[in-house]
Amino acid sequence: MAFEITDANFQKEVLENNGVAVLDFWAEWCGPCRMIGPIIDKLHTEYEGKALIGKVNVDENSEIPVQFGITSIPTILIFKNGKMVEKHVGVTTQANLAQKIEAQLAA
């Protein structure tokens, strides 16, 4: 299961992270979020030790979605060295996300 990012640990785990962090903004009631959830969990396992793959429940954490203007879910944000470098709204494939992660790891 992907790492749980909350309003409380976001600063330490993402903004102070000197590497790549991928956040999936989701909610329990969101059908497309349930479709992408297993992909995020697989990426978490695949990139363990290389990148932080986390999930933000928008119903339980309101500060981060407001800070980054998240109005639709699922939304994937990719951070590099604490700065947001990419945003994807909607469902996508594991291969597409892996390609984006690899590009940031190589940069």
49 catalytic residue (yes or no) = no
Which residue among the candidates 2, 14, 33, 51 is catalytic per the annotation?
33
Amino acid (one-letter) located at 51: A
Is 71 buried (19+), middle (13-18) or exposed (0-12) by CB count in 10 A? Answer: exposed
30 catalytic residue (yes or no) = yes
Q: Which helix (H) or strand (E) element contains residue 36?
A: helix 31-46
Which residue among the candidates 7, 17, 27, 30 is catalytic per the annotation?
30
Q: Active-site residues: which are they?
A: 30, 33
